[in-house]
Amino acid sequence: MDYLDFYQLQQEPFSVMPLTRFYYHSEQHDQAILRLRRAITQMRGLAVLVGDVGTGKTTLARRILDDLSEEEYEASLLVVIHADVSAGWLLKRIAAQLGVTDLPEDRMEILARLYARLHEVAEEGRKAVVLIDEAQMLRHQVLMEELRGLLNLELPEQKLVTFVLFGLPELGEIIRRDPPLAQRVAVRFRLEPFQENTTADYIAHRLSLAGRDTPIFSTDALAAIHRIAAGVPRVINVVCDNALFEGYVRRAAEVGIDVIEAVASDLDLS
């Protein structure tokens, strides 16, 4: 028997992986999707979502991507994994994400092929969308200038591509350093940590999706989880996952505040 069997769970409820099947419809996350989808469907050009580490930006980006049908959109998600990328790398990656093949080395030729591809997508009656996660990594001015240049790829009465940037709050400052680009931001939204009642509902939601409809954590434990995690979903997951295992080790039918405090100490979160 493991902790899943002990607590009558069918799967891990608190994985830190950004699994869209565990998407939680908090008011602010649903508001974010509503506003970003408006920017996408109306081809507004540039939308930006920021939030602190662990507030659910990547999960939200993948949720949006999953909801964009291939019949209506040429959509992709680009994750920037380090800050030492060049403007040439960014241009090539965006072109490749949008279906341009056999990319040449010459920048102007890449732009020409990208424009042709975007024009083709538009003629098909579809919309081109690139979601960029960890966009705060694009911290060099030349990268913002490259994005601004790509936003100029348009037809007389419509834009040919929309970018949605997801990143840490510093992304806002990076964009502000390029005033012409900042003026092009059609939608801005910031994710905040959960309030205490939302934390409790979030935990119940994930337990329910994992097969458990009755509480496992005591009321005091839920309050402690919120306090220790400061309402940050990723930290809530880490604390709850460790607490379930610790509760299983102790054979505790209900996970109380003593278990949460022990876990917080082990994780150096107290």
Instruction: Report whether pLDDT(158) > 90.
Output: no
**Radius of gyration of the chain, Cα coordinates, nearest whole angstrom:** 22
What percent of the chain has pLDDT above 70? Answer: 100
Confidence (pLDDT) at 209: 95
Residue bearing tokens 């604390």: 239
pLDDT of residue 39: 97
pLDDT at 114: 96
Residue type, 238: V
Structure token pair of residue 61? 């980006």
- Residue 154's pLDDT band, with cuts at 50, 70 and 90, is confident
Mean pLDDT score, 260-267:
96
- Distance between CA atoms of 60 and 37, rounded to whole angstroms? 11
Instruction: Check if CATH label 1.10.260 holds for domain 194-266.
Output: no
Q: What's the pLDDT at 17?
A: 85
Rounded distance between C-alpha atoms, residue 91 and residue 145, angstroms: 11
Is a pLDDT exceeding 90 seen at residue 168?
yes
pLDDT tens figures, 172-208: 999 999 999 999 999 999 999 999 999 999 999 999 9
Q: Residue 119: in which H helix or E strand, if any? A: helix 107-123
For residue range 8-64, list pLDDT tens digits in order. 999 999 988 877 888 898 999 999 999 999 999 999 999 999 999 999 999 999 999
Per-domain residue ranges for the chain?
27-191, 194-266
* pLDDT tens track for 101-125: 888 889 999 999 999 999 999 999 9
Read off the tokens for 207: 């337990």
What is the rounded CA–CA span in Å between residue 98 and residue 146? 16
Per-chain mean pLDDT for the chain: 94
Which residues make beta-bridge pairs with 129? Answer: 75, 162
Class of domain 27-191 as given by CATH: alpha beta
Residue 219 has pLDDT above 90, yes or no: yes
d(CA 64, CA 16): 19
Among 52, 47, 86, 16, smallest CA distance to 164 is for 47
